[in-house]
């Protein structure tokens, strides 16, 4: 059985989400709230974000994005 780490969306995650959402809106870029919350959570905990659609996350600052394909 593999170990599982549960990452909680906390106050810091919410702060990063709001800051990044404001920045993106100022720049006229639209990112869905769900994608932005995933990105904020990844950024807070500093892991690489694995995705098969990096285009969804490329406008979010500070992420290490790795493609699955």
**Residue 39: CATH number of its domain:** 3.40.50.1010
- Longest Cα separation, the chain: 45
Residues 39 and 20 sit within 8 Å (Cβ to Cβ): yes
Q: What is the band of 68 on the pLDDT scale with cuts at 50, 70, 90?
A: confident
pLDDT for residue 16 is more than 70: yes
Q: What is the band of 43 on the pLDDT scale with cuts at 50, 70, 90?
A: very high
Please give the average per-residue pLDDT across 15-36, as a whole number: 96
Residue 50 lies in a domain: yes
Q: What is the band of 34 on the pLDDT scale with cuts at 50, 70, 90?
A: very high
Residue 4 lies in a domain: no
Q: How many domains does the chain divide into?
A: 1
Please give the average per-residue pLDDT across 21-44, as a whole number: 95
Range of the domain at 39: 11-67
Residue 1 lies in a domain: no
Residue 19 sits at the vertex; the CA angle it makes with 16 and 25, to the nearest 5 degrees, is 135
Residue 5 lies in a domain: no
Please give the average per-residue pLDDT across 41-46, as a whole number: 90
């Amino acid at each position: 059985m593999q170990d599982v780490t549960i990452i909680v969306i906390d106050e810091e995650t919410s702060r990063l989400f709001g800051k990044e959402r404001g920045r993106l809106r100022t720049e006229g870029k639209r990112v869905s709230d769900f994608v932005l919350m995933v990105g904020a959570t990844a950024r807070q905990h500093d892991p690489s974000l694995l995705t098969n659609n990096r285009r969804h996350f490329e406008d979010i600052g500070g992420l290490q994005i790795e493609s699955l394909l």
